[in-house]
Structures are given as structure tokens and as C-alpha cells.
Amino acid sequence: MGLNDLTIHELAGRLAKKEIAAADLARDVVARTEAMEPKLHAFLEWNGGELLTAARDMDERRARGEVLGPLAGIPVGIKDVLNVQGHSCRCGSKILQGYVAPYDATVVAKLRAAGVIPFGRLNMDEFAMGSSTENSAFGVTHNPWDLERIPGGSSGGSAAAVAAAEVPAALGSDTGGSIRQPASLCGVVGMKPTYGRVSRFGLVAFASSLDQIGPFAKDVTDAALVLGAISGRDPNDSTSVPEPVPDYTKALTGDVKGLKLGLPKEYFIPGMDKEVDAAVRAAVDKLVSLGAEIIEISLPHSDYGLAVYYIIATAEASANLARFDGVRYGSRAKDAKDPLDMYGRTRGAGFGPEVTRRIILGTYVLSSGYYDAYYLRAQKVRTLIRRDFMEAFQKCDAILTPTTPSAAFKIGEKAEDPLTMYLSDIFTVNVNLAGICGVSVPCGFTKQPKLPIGLQVLGKPFGEATILKVAHAYEQATEWHKEKPKI
């Protein structure tokens, strides 16, 4: 076992006491990454030498007695959608070939301030559009539990890297489930914070009103630590909220006695995978045995979430991705005769099929004559979906659902059928539409093959502490998080 197998809360204490050096941890991380990458392809890019240099520098500063951040010397993997100064940031797309980020995303700057060493560029579906990482222009990432299967997406690289212990933690982004779904399929903890909890500055936008950045971690305590480090109001992001950031680890008491947990009947549907259903129901029972109270709730507009999502997300994306035009950065078609020709061919060659489909769909729903029927109507149904949750939270402290309707599917299985692929997000999209928070925590495995299953815990706006408390209590009462994939 290497240092890379330990959690951040184990590592941080030992680093602070100088029992281990950041350089030792970095070496183990690099060794593990070197060993795993030929099989997983979780990273698009990583630089072991750079990590070692940064780690040694951290050790020297510690030796000099400098006051370091609470996560000093911990490497954290960064999804390719976040700007890290001086590094590429291609968002899994050919169109950003050659782009070098001139600035750090706020979350990256905040992690650095906490002492974290950002490490590598993690694979993803192109521009975060997808549920499998098959839409990456640079090849699919493999699920550490079964290399023939997808790791989920769009933050598949982040989930796989943490599941395979290449890095202690990683950052991902979640627009419709892109953190929680891969976390569930790879058997790690993944958290989507409340909209506005974490600054989006430096996150290459997919759907601005839905995107949030969040952590992937080996356990809930680590997720709480990373979340605490990246949260807070940012003057560079108007939509970040000036809500105080508590010490989320303080909520991790293991005590859920008297907490009211809602079970929405719309999330336990016929046709759902039987093993997933059973695992989630068992998890509910476990929480009851810990003293939580279960109440039946209804989120009546849940079924419309996916349709609303595919209108709003694609509409916003069609504008957000207009900037990739070959003028200021990235790739450009050769020998264009005029700007129009340059745009068409640059974008035609630069975007993959899923991104192209979604841009066209988004263009359609906003176009003259269709706006009211699609976009405006979707925004109104979004109001109803949010209202459903707000009413439910009058009755309960958190909501429990499966994270995904089934475990990881095989690479290529759904690639040609976009709509079926979209259905893997059916339990996660409503959370983004409502702007609330959610965390996925491992809650069992399918039998044959052995694939992870996730329990999703949802909370009210800025209710991160509560859902982390529930997830943590459950995690500590079970052994799932201790199971590691054998690769």
C-alpha cells in the first residue's frame, strides 16, 4: 500500500507532523498514475516532475517553519474544464488544441491557497456533454472496476482517478449529474454543491445556470475538506453567494437521530435495475437503524426534468460555445476564404458529434418562433421542479434517491443512441434545475460483474452540512467505501 491509498484527512495530519513528506506522497501518486494510466486513461495530461518539484518546495517551506494551508502538499486532480494557469485546458475537445490558460480558475487558486498541488488534466466528455466520457476527443476513460465499462461522465476521468487511487481527490463539474453519476459508477464520493456555493470563474461554461464545481473523494470526510476549501463568494462570479462557509467536517458527527429523510416515490420506478433498487432500499434501512426517520414524499414534476434540462442546458451551451471560433485561441481551419468559412469549418471539424447535436438543439429552442414553446416553457417547468423540492424540504431535512438507474454500462453500448444515454441522468438533473445540493456515496455493488452502486443524498440550498452528515453516518456504518477495485 502506498501513500496514494490514504485519505486526505489521514495524509494531512501526518504531513503536518512531518511523519511523511509531501515529496513521498507525490512519488507514490506519480508511480500509481504511471502504472494505471495505460489501462484507465483518466488523465489527458500529467506532469510527474512538476508535481515532485512543487511537493519538494512545499516540504522546504514546512521545514522553514512557514505557516502552510490545511491541505499543504496534497495533490488534487483537476478536470480538463478548469483553467490552471500555464497549462492546457481543452475540455476534451479538439477545438481548444494549443490553448494555454493565462489564469487560474478561482477554485484552483483557492486550492493552492490551502496548500493543494493541482495535478494533471482529467479526461471528460467534450465540454462536459455526456454521461460516459466516450465523447472525449482524446479517447474514453475506463472504469477501474471493469475496464470494459464506462466510468460515467462527464467527469469520468476525475471519478476513475480517485477510484484507482491515482490521486487522493479530484475536482469535477456537474451540470446534470456529471459529478454524482460517475462517482456512483466508480464507487467514490462525489458532491454537487448548491448553485452559488462555489465560484464558477475559470470553469469553461457548459450551461451557466446549472454548472457547479465539486469534489470527488475517497470518503465523505475528504469531500467535506475539499468542499470547504473551494467554497465561498467570489467577486469574479456574480452568481456566487455571500453565504458563510462553515467547517463542514464539524457536521460529521455520525449522529442522524431524529433527522427526517424523504423518499420521493418518483425516484423508485418500475424498470429500474433490481440490484440498484435493493441496494438503495437497504441503505435506507441502515439509516433508519441509525435513528433517522423516513417519510414518503412526492416530487410530482420529476418526470419532466430531463426534457427541461435538455432545453435549458443546450440553449445556454449554444451561446457559451459560440466563442470557439478560431479567432482568439484554439484551432482554426486552414485557408479559410472569409470569416464565415473559417467559423463553419473550424467548428465543424473542432466539435464532436454530441457537442454539435446539442449546439443545434440549443439554437433551435431559442430560434425565432420557437422560444416560447420550448425555452420559456422549460423555464416555467423549472420553476415547478424547484418548487417541488422546496415544498418537500418543508417536511424533511434531506432526500434519499438512487444516483443512477443502473450500474456502469459497457463502452459503446449507448454511443449511437443519444436519448437512451440521456436517461442515465434521470435522477440527477432535477437537482441542478432546482439549484440545490446533492452527494453520491457508495452503497453497495452489483453481483456479476461487481460494479458500484451509489446512494444520492439531496439537501436544501446551502444544506451541504446536513447531507454530508447523513452520507458520513451511513458511510461509517458500512464498509463499502473500503472496497477497492483490483486493476
Partner 1 sequence: MDYEICIGLETHVQVKTRTKVFCACPTEFGAEPNTNVCPVCLGYPGSLPVINEVAIRKTVLAGMLVGAKIAHHSKFDRKNYFYPDMPKNYQISQYDLPLVIGGTVEYDFGVVDKKRLGETKVCRLTRIHLEEDVGKNFHFERTSGVDFNRAGTPLMEIVSEPDLSSSDEAFAYLTALKEILIYGGISDCDMEKGQVRCDVNISVRPRGQKELGQKVEIKNMNTFSGVRHAVDYEAQRQIETLNRGGRLVQETRRWDDMAGVTESMRTKEHAHDYRYFPEPDLLPVSLNEAWLAEVRKLVPELPSAKRKRMVGRYGIPPYDAGVLAADAALADYFEAAAQASKNPKSVVNWVTNDLLRDLAEAKLAIGQSPVKPPHIAELVELVDSGKISSKIAKDVFVEMFKTGRAPAAIVAEKGLVQVSDTGAIGKFCDEVIAANPKIVADFKAGKEAALNALTGQVMKLSKGKANPQAVRDALRGKLSG
Partner 2 sequence: MSLDPKTPKMDVPYLAQLARISLNAEQVEKFGAQLQQIVAYVEKLKEVNVEGIEPTAHATPITNVFRADEPRTPPGDPAPFLKNAPQQANNLFVVPKIVE
Quick one: which of 119, 84, 117 has its CA closest to 99? 84
103 is a contact residue toward partner 1 (CB under 8 A): yes
Q: How far apart are CA 153 and CA 65, in angstroms?
A: 42
Total residues contacting partner 1 by CB under 8 A comes to 44
The enclosing H or E element of 191 equals: strand 189-192
Length of the chain: 487
Q: Which three cell numbers stand for residue 320?
A: 457559451
From the list partner 2, partner 1, none, partner contacted by residue 307 (C-beta under 5 to 8 A by kind): partner 2
Q: How far apart are CA 439 and CA 454, in angstroms?
A: 9
306 is a contact residue toward partner 1 (CB under 8 A): no
- Phi, psi at 381, each rounded to 5°: -65, -30
Minimum distance, C-beta of residue 301 to partner 2, in the bound complex (Å): 7
From the list partner 1, partner 2, none, partner contacted by residue 91 (C-beta under 5 to 8 A by kind): partner 1
Footprint (CB under 8 A) of partner 2, residues 31-60: none
Minimum distance, C-beta of residue 382 to partner 1, in the bound complex (Å): 12
178 in catalytic set = yes
Cβ of 445: how many Cβ atoms within 10 Å? 18
Footprint (CB under 8 A) of partner 1, residues 29-88: 82-83
Question: Under a CB-based contact definition with an 8 Å cutoff, are residues 92 and 137 in contact?
Answer: yes
Helix (H, G, I), strand (E, B) or coil at 44: strand
Q: Which stretch binds partner 2 (CB under 8 A): 147-155, 285-293, 328-336, 468-476?
A: 328-336
Question: Under a CB-based contact definition with an 8 Å cutoff, are residues 453 and 442 in contact?
Answer: yes
Give how far the C-alpha of residue 76 lies from the chain's centroid of Cα atoms, to the nearest Å. Answer: 14
From the list partner 1, partner 2, none, partner contacted by residue 288 (C-beta under 5 to 8 A by kind): none
238 is a contact residue toward partner 1 (CB under 8 A): yes
386 is a contact residue toward partner 2 (CB under 8 A): yes
Give 190's strand partners. Answer: 216, 440
Footprint (CB under 8 A) of partner 2, residues 276-315: 301, 303-304, 306-308, 310-311
Which residues fall within 8 angstroms of residue 19, CB to CB, at 6 or more apart? none
Q: How far apart are CA 187 and CA 337, in angstroms?
A: 51
Minimum distance, C-beta of residue 165 to partner 2, in the bound complex (Å): 34
Q: How far apart are CA 300 and CA 311, in angstroms?
A: 19
Q: Mask: binding to partner 1, 358-397, rule CB under 8 A, as x and -? A: -----x--xxx--x---x----------------------
| The one among 52, 245, 336, 477 contacting partner 2 by CB under 8 A | 336
Q: Which three cell numbers stand for residue 325?
A: 471560433
Q: Mask: binding to partner 1, 338-357, rule CB under 8 A, as x and -? A: -xx--x--------------
Measured from the CB atom, the residue of 145 and 201 that comes closer to partner 1 is: 201
Minimum distance, C-beta of residue 350 to partner 2, in the bound complex (Å): 9
Q: How far apart are CA 349 and CA 327, in angstroms?
A: 15
Footprint (CB under 8 A) of partner 2, residues 218-237: 235
Pick the catalytic residue: 136, 158, 178, 406? Answer: 178
Which residues fall within 8 angstroms of residue 203, CB to CB, at 6 or more apart? 81, 82, 83, 105, 107, 173, 211, 213
Residue numbers at the binding site for partner 1 (CB under 8 A): 82-83, 89, 91, 96, 99, 101-103, 105, 200-205, 207-209, 235-239, 315-316, 318-319, 322-325, 327-329, 339-340, 343, 363, 366-368, 371, 375
Give the residue numbers marked as catalytic.
79, 154, 178
